[in-house]
Amino acid sequence: MKLRKVTAAAAAALVLSLTATACGGDDNDSDSADTGSGGGDKIKVGIKYDQPGLGLKEPDGSFSGFDVDVATYVAGELGYEPDQIEFIETKSADRENALARGDVDFIAATYSITDERKEKVDFAGPYLLAHQDLLVKSDSDITEATDLNGKKLCSVTGSTSAQNVKNDFAPKAQLKQVSTYSECVAALQSGAVDALTTDDSILAGFAAQEQYKGQFKLAGLKLSNENYGIGVKKGDTETVNKINDALEKMVSEKAWEKAVTDNFGPADYKNEPAPKIGNIVQ
């Protein structure tokens, strides 16, 4: 809580007012969240803005996706109504810094839990186990990563996914790197490339979009394990514990399964069961 400077004459009144407002915070002085106690004016949540099915900013300014649904549920358990949530775009390269600076209170943005990241932030979860996979046209005969030899494989610049496929499975694959996954999907649709690779959850999100229904399929490969967690500022154990409780409740109330079906169902996404809190699949 932030307190104003007061005169001596107002000191007694201030002491009395502190008793009444200690939990809720001072509405005039701060609109940032107190995730330890909940119920503040706003809670700031980092998400992706450009991943259909996971975190997407719609043309009307609203937000949709599995990560958005999870974040909304968690914020509710922390004491915030949907209109008290401020979704902030948090790009992959800036996630740790955003938490350290206090730009966001937590991050739900396809944020894989790794040992390297755990040195900088704390994680609740995991709340989804994803895998690296391939997205191909619905009539494609590509069923294994080795089938990509001599084929054109798309991914985004800076991603290691496509290079991993070339190094480990298909050394003769022709890599095409572009700025966004949307460009890869467009290239796949036009036939300019034969496959797109990244996390299966991201691929399913694109395939589930209305304009792509029936055009694509996931190969169903499990080329890696990606344990999605909710990032919290390093050392904030109280918030981590509260988010973990919220995630467990979301699963037990079947809200987690509903969010999976709503966001990935049209792509026939073969999702893993909800992971156990703290169970990191290597």
Give residue-wise pLDDT tens across range 9-60: 433 443 334 344 334 334 433 445 556 545 569 999 999 999 999 999 999 9
Beta bridge pairs of residue 123: 231
Domains and CATH numbers, the chain: 39-130+227-267 (3.40.190.10), 132-218 (3.40.190.10)
What pLDDT score was predicted for residue 269?
86
Encode burial over 194-220: b for 16+ CB neighbours within 10 A, e otherwise: bbbbbbbbbbbbbbbbeebeeebbbbe
The token duo for 218 is: 């996931």
| Other Cβ atoms within 10 Å of 32 Cβ, number | 16
Give residue-wise pLDDT tens across range 49-85: 999 999 999 999 999 999 999 999 999 999 999 999 9
Give residue-wise pLDDT tens across range 202-257: 999 999 998 998 999 999 999 999 999 999 999 999 999 999 999 999 999 999 99
